[in-house]
Amino acid sequence: MVRYIDADGDEHYVGLAEAAAIPFENGRMARNIPAYRDIAHPSGRYWAATTGELVEFESHLEEKWLTLLDFDAGITGFSSQPMELEAADEHGPWHHVPISSPRSPARGTSAHDASAPARAPSASPAQLIPGQETRPARHQA
C-alpha cells in the first residue's frame, strides 16, 4: 500500500497501480523531518525552479538529489518524502518513505531513493510491481 497526504491534509491509502497516477508534488510530506539539537544531518529547504516552491530535505545527500531533479529538463514536478510505502513480509510489517517523487511526461510518477549501498534494496524501483506483497531483499553490509 501507498500512504500519502493530499494538499488539503487528508490521508489516503492506495495500491501501487493507482499511486502511479497521483501528482504527489501537489500534496504534503508523508512524515515530518525531525529537528533537534546536535542532529547528525543538517536539514533545510531548497528553492526549486521546477515547482516554484521550497522543498524540504533531510540531509545534504537529499539536497543534492533535489538539485539534480531541478536541473533535469525532463522532470515536470517533484516533491520531498511524498509517500510512505507499507507492506508485510516474512519478518513482519514494514514501511519506508522514499526521499522524492519526480514526475516526467515520459516516465510518469516514480519513487526515488538514495539509500546507502549497504541499506539499498536489491531490487530496482521498476521491480516494485502492483500486487507485490514482500519487500526486496537487502544487501548485506
Domain boundaries, the chain: 2-120
Q: Taking the mean position of all CA atoms in its chain, how far away is CA 7?
A: 16
Termini Cα distance of the chain: 28
pTM reported for the whole predicted model: 0.69
pLDDT tens, per residue, the chain with 141 residues: 899 999 999 999 998 888 888 888 888 989 888 777 887 778 889 999 998 999 999 888 889 989 999 999 888 888 888 889 888 888 888 888 887 777 777 777 777 676 544 444 444 444 343 433 334 433 333
- What is the DSSP code (8-state) at residue 79? -
CA–CA dist 93, 102 (Å, integer): 26
